[in-house]
Structure 1
Amino acid sequence: MRRDGSDVDFDAFFLHEFPRVARTVHHIVGDRARAEELTQDAFIELLRHWRTVAEYDRPDLWLRRVAIRKAQRERHRGWRRRELEVLTAPTETVDGPPTPAPEVLAAVRRLAPGQRTVVVLFYFEDRPMSEIAEILGIKESTGWSQLHTARRHLADTLEEEVSDVIR
């Protein structure tokens, strides 16, 4: 039972959040099957802590933090070994909003893990920076700094200009 009196059902939560979290993780790791595995791992961890997390105002943020950390670790471990495979593999989509152009996804996948995660959450998921900071456990100013640096790198990679205004 949550503080607001509503009962959160794990099965319903899973059905609602799995595709969304898997899509985010997919954008970070670049591989749909691996993204689904990492998302399942995050849900297994959530199930272990369900009684506590279900009481949170936003259990979805706890889940995303766990899934994103798993994705970042995965991405960091195989960064050099898989970079060529990820960049040349055909783009797969997970059900949801339209996937950005392949050249944009390839450029995003070249970013450092922290920058890539902030870009995915800010632009692909349309999350506010305050929520991104909470999910990642960073200060908002750090998130804005990572986003600014990522935008510069993306502009260089895509050979486009970046305006100073975000969004």
Structure 2
Amino acid sequence: MDRYDGFREFVLARQEALVRSAYLLTGDAHLAEDLMQSVLLKVAGHWPRLIRQGTPEAYTRKALINQYISWQRRKRRESPGADPPERGNAHDDATVDRIILRTALTRLTPRQRAVIVLRFYEDLSERETAEILGCSVGTVKSQTHHALGRLRTLAPELSELFTETEEVRR
């Protein structure tokens, strides 16, 4: 029996969803791929234990979030105050909304962005999000509240979307 039995199948089955989550965290397709490769190296190293415990999906998600937060901390130390570039093309309303949202997401703290991605994109419960982030449910609620408030400030033209999202979650 190979120590990596099932790893290839896991990657093939979950890669697309995990890369989408990585993209939502990083806002950049190339960084998302780099993040996934980095995380999958860690997952491969722990694969036999993860299979025995039955937790490869949870471990991979948590590793993805933790690696993203680590990269953001390092990035902040290296280049403080860097703003995302402005975009100047003609787009339809949905595209403009996505660009505005993506830009606003980049202005959240790494932890707030992680909470928003896990809660609203991955559609995880507060409890599941807390488990992945290694914090309490109350912290998830607080981070979600602060992140949505910050998004309303950063992208007031999308504030209706954030209000609807918060009401649906209640």
- TM-score w.r.t. the length of structure 2 is 0.78
Pair 1:82–1:14, CA change in 2 (3 A): farther
- Verify: 1:151 aligned to 2:148, yes or no: yes
- CA offset at residue 72 of structure 1? 1.1
- CA offset at residue 81 of structure 1? 5.3
Q: Do the aligned residues in 2 keep the contact of 1:28 with 1:72 (CA within 8 Å)?
A: no
Q: Do the aligned residues in 2 keep the contact of 1:29 with 1:75 (CA within 8 Å)?
A: no
- Verify: 1:125 aligned to 2:122, yes or no: yes
Aligned mates of 1:75, 1:116 — CA distance in 2 = 11
Q: Do the aligned residues in 2 keep the contact of 1:35 with 1:71 (CA within 8 Å)?
A: no
Aligned mates of 1:82, 1:36 — CA distance in 2 = 25
Pair 1:11–1:82, CA change in 2 (3 A): farther
Q: Do the aligned residues in 2 keep the contact of 1:21 with 1:64 (CA within 8 Å)?
A: yes
**One of 107, 116, 126 as aligned partner of 1:110:** 107
Number of aligned residues: 152
Q: Do the aligned residues in 1 keep the contact of 2:43 with 2:56 (CA within 8 Å)?
A: no
Aligned to 1:106, what secondary structure does the other structure show?
helix
Residue in 1 that maps onto 2:22? 25
Aligned to 2:61, what secondary structure does the other structure show?
helix
- CA offset at residue 121 of structure 1? 1.0
- TM-score w.r.t. the length of structure 1 is 0.80
- CA offset at residue 147 of structure 1? 0.2
Residue in 1 that maps onto 2:86? 88
Q: Do the aligned residues in 2 keep the contact of 1:130 with 1:140 (CA within 8 Å)?
A: yes
Aligned to 1:88, what secondary structure does the other structure show?
coil
Aligned mates of 2:154, 2:114 — CA distance in 1 = 17
Larger radius of gyration between Structure 1 and Structure 2: 2
- Verify: 1:57 aligned to 2:54, yes or no: yes
- Verify: 1:101 aligned to 2:98, yes or no: yes
Aligned to 1:127, what secondary structure does the other structure show?
coil
Aligned mates of 1:103, 1:60 — CA distance in 2 = 31
- After the TM superposition, list the runs of 4 or more consecutive aligned residues in structure 1 that deviate by more than 6 angstroms: none
Which structure carries more helix by proportion?
Answer: 2
Aligned mates of 2:119, 2:81 — CA distance in 1 = 25
Q: Do the aligned residues in 2 keep the contact of 1:24 with 1:125 (CA within 8 Å)?
A: yes
Letter in 2 for 1:151: L
Pair 1:110–1:59, CA change in 2 (3 A): same
- CA offset at residue 53 of structure 1? 0.6
Q: List gaps (5 residues or longer) in structure 2.
A: 89-96
Tell me: higher relative CO, structure 1 or 2? Use CA pairs within 8 A at least 6 residues apart: 1
Q: List gaps (5 residues or longer) in structure 1.
A: 2-7, 91-99
